[in-house]
Amino acid sequence: RNPSGNKAGTRHRLSRRTVRAMAQPFVAASKTYLDGVKAYYRPSTLERAKRDLHTIRLDLEALAAERRIGRMSPRVMTEQDVEALLVLWRTRPVRRWARDKPLDLASQAHLLKTLGNVLGFFGNNVIDTMRKKKYVRLPTDLKDKPIRVLTDSELARIRAAADAFEGWRGSVARFLVAFLPATGLRPKEFPLARFEDLELGSWTIGIAHPMAEGPLASA
């Protein structure tokens, strides 16, 4: 027996109540951060940051339950806390879609950037300090990441599924599976498209609200 467990090399898990209490500083800090940057980002960007912070909180709670970290406040997180997160992101399976695969590098880099933004907001520059150390290798987003496109057989299956819908929903589904792959509009660009953006003579459509549009974009 040892002070940290009932067998050599093992440790007791913390209770859910204890972990949730430890997470409160991170929850409060996340809300303060999102309120503080609201004027500078689009609602969709803020919503993405909110989801990222939720994911980070769940991962911090998992680490705290295993006693691998002892704090969750962005104001006092250390290099060791960030390292524990990085190890978890490299090894845990993705929660979404029940796929048993590690988090890809782009997702790791994105979560690390979000965490760094929050830490920096509260004057904690530990991640910036880590980047300056030669031996530290942090995940980075791949600039030449392969573009995933639907194959002809995948498109055929989608069109067949759309044909099974009846009425108005079927008409909308069939239009979308024909229109979106042909134009390449992003999911957030299509709902903002206007009828006057469509040019039937040349079979083209203008983008009135591009992805780069934001609160600081030029008119």
pTM for this predicted structure = 0.67
Query: Which pLDDT does position 105 carry in this prediction?
Result: 86
pLDDT digits (tens, 9 = 90+) for 168-202: 999 999 998 888 888 888 877 888 888 888 888 88
pLDDT digits (tens, 9 = 90+) for 86-113: 999 988 776 544 455 678 888 899 999 9
What lies within 8 Å, CB to CB, of 202 at 6+ separation is none
pLDDT digits (tens, 9 = 90+) for 110-133: 999 999 999 999 999 999 999 999
pLDDT digits (tens, 9 = 90+) for 47-70: 999 999 999 999 999 999 999 999
In the chain, pLDDT over 90 holds for what percent of residues?
51
DSSP per-residue codes, 84-147: HHHHHHHHSBPSGGG---BPPHHHHHHHHHHHHHHHHHTT--HHHHHHTSTT-------TTPPP
Q: Which two tokens stand for residue 126?
A: 């530990």
Query: Residues 50, 29: contact at Cβ < 8 Å?
Result: no
Residue 142 in this model has a pLDDT that exceeds 70? no
Name the amino acid, one letter, at 195. Answer: F
